[in-house]
Amino acid sequence: MNGARGRWGRALGRCAVIAAAVALWEVWARQRGSSFFPPPSAIAARMYGQWFSGPAAHLFLTHDAIGNVLPSLGRIAAGLAIAVVVGGVAGVAIGRSVALSGYLDPLLQFARALPAVTLVPVFIALFRIGTEMEVATIAFGTVWPILLNTIDGARSVDPVQMETARAFRLPGRQRLTKLIIPATMPRFFAGLRLSLSLALVLMVFAELAGSSNGLGYEMNDAESSFDMTWVWATIVLLALLGNVFNLLELAVERRMLGWYRGARGRTP
Amino acid sequence: MTGTTMLEITDLSHAFGPGHLALDGITLTVTEGELVSIVGPSGCGKSTLLRCVAGLIRPAGGRVVLRGAPVVTVPDRLAVVFQDYSRSLFPWLTAEDNVALPLRRTQPGRAQRRATALEALATVGLTDTAQKYPWQLSGGMQQRVAIARALACDPVLLLMDEPFGSVDAQTREDLEDLILAVRRDTLMTILMVTHDIDESVYVGDRVVVLTPGPGRVRADLPVDLPAPRDQITTKELPGFVHLRTEVSRLVRNQPGGPGRPGDSGGGGGAAYWGRERNRSRAARASQE
């Protein structure tokens, strides 16, 4: 719509708002001088010292970052990978099968309504405290948005497109890879977006409940040592991670779903 | 020479659920190389008829025989152009990939499929847009892609379901001429459903008029107009005007005009058609 100029202008405006908010926080926190609300500058310094002041050989990551941030990211990746595979495959299968979706729908709705965090005690019992339990929690929590959206997407493939596939005698495998899967992608990504933010929450919660490392564990550690700057540093790091996930997801989505944006923008 | 029979529809009936009869005993024979327009008021089952011929719907009664073989599933070498091009093309594939997709079954080589697709796109006048996505093209161009996709399959029978129903008048005329040109070059048999009376007469060798639902054959009229057809000169011929009026009357179910009152028999029409066809064949041959 607007040129590159308008886009850069808007981006600049957004940065200005963030900068102003941080500045306000800084002024307010300094005046207040409360140990519960350290100023952003102190938080940033702490984040640098805690995680990003390591040797160049370790990509400037500190021992603590390698010991806590990376395991958390790994668990999110593993949990999401399971959710994507299970949710995607089962979603397409259930969405395309009238019988399957008829039978499973009540069960799925029930399972979705179950908050994943309430299953942490069960998973602790099942898998013992540690990575397995955390990955199970993340996978179980994040599979639902992906699964339910994928079911919906696969179910609502345009009947005209399905008829076209039949009229041109596309074999089953091509119907799946060239029609059903691409047509389902927009909904799959809508689910994935929801699951990404959920994954972060579940990771922290599972690690708070029981873990020997990770960001949730570190937060617990910080809290019990009454180091509020450390607690805040962890919170800000989590927020930054959430933003990075979102950006990554958008970049992938833009590549995969360019046609979708184009088609939606242009069809009358 | 009367040509061999391409398609034989015998007493075809279909109902969507009890009491909702869409087709009621349609009998129709199409000769090889013929372009038959099927016209009728909306809801007369035109599209249902086409879907039965395509093997997309299993009719409740009667039979469809294509080149001697009964149609039970979608037959080989049959292609369909749907009305709703914006939904029948896949928006995640480029024009070229849309055209090439159905070829995977018959042509294993990627380069070969690509060549076939580009050739089909060139036939419909799209040479520079192969790498564009359907949503980057105008409605007329999208329908051209859909036609190219059908042609690339090298069908012996092409079915078109109100193919130009959603494009503007100028584009519609261009596409009608495109179909006539394709038919002239390939001698393909074409069955085209339309609700546009002028179009049915202009492109058809024969116009089959269906009754309002449930669809029955009300009339089967030969189109005795010289080839090649032309959007201006053909449409001002007395024969064209007469025929379009007659078809219009039949579609609107008004009493017949002064023209041919008893001209609804399939047999008479076929004989008439044979003559016309020989003449146009001869005309074509003399042009070459």
pTM of the model: 0.82
Query: B interface mutation test: which of A176, A259, A260 has the most B CBs within 10 A?
Result: A259
Q: Are A195 and A80 in contact (CB under 8 A)?
A: yes
| C-beta atoms of B92 and A260 within 8 A | yes
| C-beta atoms of B104 and A174 within 8 A | yes
| C-beta atoms of B135 and A263 within 8 A | yes
Banded model confidence at residue A176, pLDDT cuts 50, 70, 90: very high
A23: alpha, beta or left? (left if phi > 0; alpha if psi -120 to 50) = alpha
- Which pLDDT score, from 0 to 100, does residue A151 have? 94
| C-beta atoms of B87 and A160 within 8 A | yes
What's the mean per-residue pLDDT of chain A?
Answer: 89
- Per residue in A120-173, pLDDT tens? 888 888 887 788 888 998 999 999 999 999 999 999 999 999 999 999 999 999
Residue of A nearest to B97 (CA): A178
- Which pLDDT score, from 0 to 100, does residue B49 have? 92
- Which pLDDT score, from 0 to 100, does residue B1 have? 44
- Which pLDDT score, from 0 to 100, does residue B134 have? 93
Q: Which residues contact B10 (CB under 8 A, 6 or more apart)?
A: B27, B62, B63, B64, B65
Element at B184 (helix H, strand E) = helix B169-186
Residue B27, token pair as written in the block: 């009998």
| Positions of chain B with pLDDT lower than 50, given as ranges | 1, 258-288
Share of chain A above pLDDT 70, in %: 97
- Which pLDDT score, from 0 to 100, does residue B268 have? 35
Q: In what order do the strands lie in the sheet with B206-210?
A: B78-81, B157-161, B189-194, B35-39, B206-210, B217-222
| C-beta atoms of B101 and A263 within 8 A | no
CA dihedral sign, ordered A190, A192, A197, A202: positive
| Sequence letter at residue B256 | G
Residue A3 has pLDDT above 70, yes or no: no
A242: closest CA of chain B, how far (Å): 29
Q: Of residues A5 and A184, which shows the higher confidence score? A: A184
C-alpha to C-alpha distance for A231 and A187, rounded to whole angstroms: 36
- Which pLDDT score, from 0 to 100, does residue A188 have? 95
Q: B263 — contact with chain A (CB < 8 Å)?
A: no
Q: B92 — contact with chain A (CB < 8 Å)?
A: yes
Residue A223 has pLDDT above 70, yes or no: yes
Chain centroid, CA B19 distance in Å = 29
- Which pLDDT score, from 0 to 100, does residue B41 have? 84
Q: Are A182 and A123 in contact (CB under 8 A)?
A: no
* Pick from B95, B101, B84: nearest CA to B121: B95
B54: closest CA of chain A, how far (Å): 7
Of B74, B76, B91, the CB nearest to A259: B91
Q: Tokens 């309504």 — which residue?
A: A113
Residue A212 has pLDDT above 60, yes or no: yes
- Per residue in A82-108, pLDDT tens? 999 999 999 999 999 989 888 998 898
Banded model confidence at residue A54, pLDDT cuts 50, 70, 90: confident
Q: How many CB atoms lie under 10 A from the CB of residue A82?
A: 17
A258: closest CA of chain B, how far (Å): 8
